[in-house]
A and B are shown apart, each in its own frame.
Chain A
Amino acid sequence: MDNLRNEILRYLETNSRVNLGELAVLLGVDEVKVANEIADMEKEKIICGYHTLIDWDKAGVETVTALIEVRVTPQRNQGFDRIAERIYNYPEVHAVYLISGGYDLLVTLEGKTLKEVSRFVSEKLSPIESVISTATYFILKKYKDHGTILVPKKESERMLVTP
């Protein structure tokens, strides 16, 4: 990947709301060029979406996040893809990863209550034929998410002016 693309992506990864004129200034290139690169990368699905990182706890909205390890029997000709699809199509499923190690798929799930999550596991996930077993872990506190530290940061202790 060329350098400009890389720099644009690195920036957007943590500042997707930046205005294009400003990004062009920061990177020292022409605004039209930046706009074109971004448009191209959107088309090529290198940029897959623009999301907002929300601390739901602070927003006062009750949510429960669970990590679920899933062991499955891969299916002939389709490996894990088909079973993954059956899982990721549920809107409450946030992420599905194929994992190396002791189990096969890692599913992250967001629900309103513990009950809702456990109902999903027992009624939707476990009954899928090729699912051998599941193990569910509830997240108690998010310290850092998507590279962003969520716990309050200390004030800077620098002096106001120094030589």
Chain B
Amino acid sequence: MRNPLSKKIIEIEPSGIRKFFDVANEMEDAISLGVGEPDFDTPWRIREEGIFSLERGRTFYTSNAGLQELRNEICKYLERKIHIKYDPKNETLVTVGGSEAIDVGLRCMLDPGDEVLIPQPSYVSYLPCTVMADGVPVVIPLQYENEFKLTVEDLEKYTTPKTKVLIMPFPNNPTGSIMTKEDLEPVAEFVKEHDLYVISDEIYSELTYSTQHVSIASLPGMRERTIVINGFSKGFAMTGWRLGYCCGPEAIIEQMIKLHQFAIMCAPTNSQYAAIEGLRNCEEEVEEMRKSYNQRRRFLMHEFARMGLECFEPFGAFYVFPSIQEFSMTSEEFATRLLNEEKVAVVPGTAFGECGEGFLRISYAYSLDDLKEALGRLGRFIQRLRNER
């Protein structure tokens, strides 16, 4: 019998961290700091709108690109937030989460052999999606010394004549790092000089704590070379609704709509109706969540300082990324022992790329009470490790 599988899919290595995830998810009565989604319920007015749309019998396909009403609201929102005007008819596509936009975007932009710059540590999907789109992933390891920001020096090292797309994963999962306007400007210059395109994954854009989020697409000359990806999962606490979107130049979006139409048809209808309510009336709820995250973030940084655990102060998303290099063990060893000995689940930094070795991703999408309990245990564990030596 012939091999049913493509070489491409076999070539993609299963995440080495999978085993750890399976063990952790089976562990009973463990406290987790390992989740990549908000702990808040979706704001009630959004849920209520979702229910109402079902009651009204809005259970049909929408247009492929998404409800026009929703696309209008998305464009108004982006103009408010990142100060870019997109045409809701031709430059906006509603997708099944930001993840679909990453996949479809790469598939529409790459020819075989085109190189994609992927700064890591970062979310797990950029690399496999690049491979499936016949692109060549080129990992840029970000440096702790730079607080895991992307610099022009990094870009210079990894850019070749074949480089076509740069992924910009900021605010960053797992490091919590953000790129300010000043950080972005030299990167934008580099991108223009080398005639690259940018896929800017801004799914955590609502969650920044020092300055307002700045999109690279808002810098001069960048709008025409950038696809902005965003969605409702993080800022609006809507992970399970599977709703995201992307905006960019018509030439690219038009083709993305084509692929989306064949592969997906349209994003879930009732999620789309619910999201309209989110964009219109949930500014306050989002702000309240942001405030809570920020308090927890400060609390964690304070506790790390007390424990003497090295960590740069991150100003985005809901993660902190402390270093465990002083304990001379791998991230996975550390996380496995922490899970077994203190029943606290954290994610080894290596889940997000090899350069995450020596770090842990700790999520603060948990109540303060949970965080206190978990950090108490973490502190005890660290003390024990230090005593062992």
Contact = CB atoms under 8 A, between A and B. Distances in A.
B162 interface: no
Interface stretch (B19-27, B73-81, B163-171): B19-27
Contacts of B36: 162-163
Given A158-B39, A161-B32, A25 B347 contact: no
A7 B298 CA distance: 15
Interface in B318-370: 345, 347, 351-352, 368
Interface in B1-39: 20-21, 24-25, 27, 30, 32, 34-37, 39
Interface string A140-163: 000000000000000010111111
A163 B352 contact: yes
A26 B295 contact: yes
B7 to A, nearest CB: 25
Contacts of A25: 298-299, 302
Given A25-B299, A26-B298, A163 B123 contact: yes
Interface string A13-36: 000000000100111100000000
A160 B299 contact: no
Contacts, number: 49
Contact of B27 (A7, A27, A156, A160): A160
Nearest to A7: B291
Q: Which of A25, A27, A156, A158 has the most CB of B within 10 A?
A: A158
A8 B33 CA distance: 27
A28 B37 contact: no
Interface string B139-181: 0000000000000000000000000000000000100000000
B295 A27 contact: yes
A27 B299 CA distance: 9
Nearest to A26: B295
Contacts of A160: 24-25, 27, 30, 32, 34-35, 345
Contacts of A28: 298
B255 to A, nearest CB: 28
Contacts of A7: 291
A105 B188 CA distance: 64
B124 interface: yes
A160 B26 CA distance: 8
A2 to B, nearest CB: 16
B37 A162 contact: yes
Interface residues of B, number: 26
A26 B34 CA distance: 21
A11 B251 CA distance: 49
B37 A158 contact: yes
Which of B34, B124, B173, B296 counts the most chain A CB atoms within 10 A? B34
Contact of B39 (A27, A156, A161): A156
Contacts of A27: 295, 298
A161 B345 contact: yes
Interface in A25-63: 25-28
A163 B15 CA distance: 11
Contacts of B296: 26
Nearest to A21: B302
Contacts of A162: 21, 34-37
29 contacts: A7-B291, A25-B298, A25-B299, A26-B296, A26-B298, A26-B368, A27-B295, A27-B298, A156-B39, A158-B32, A158-B35, A158-B37, A160-B24, A160-B30, A160-B34, A160-B35, A160-B345, A161-B24, A161-B25, A161-B35, A161-B345, A161-B347, A162-B21, A162-B34, A162-B35, A162-B36, A162-B37, A163-B36, A163-B347
Given A158-B32, A160-B32, 10 more contacts: A22-B299, A25-B298, A158-B35, A160-B35, A160-B345, A161-B24, A161-B25, A162-B34, A163-B124, A163-B173
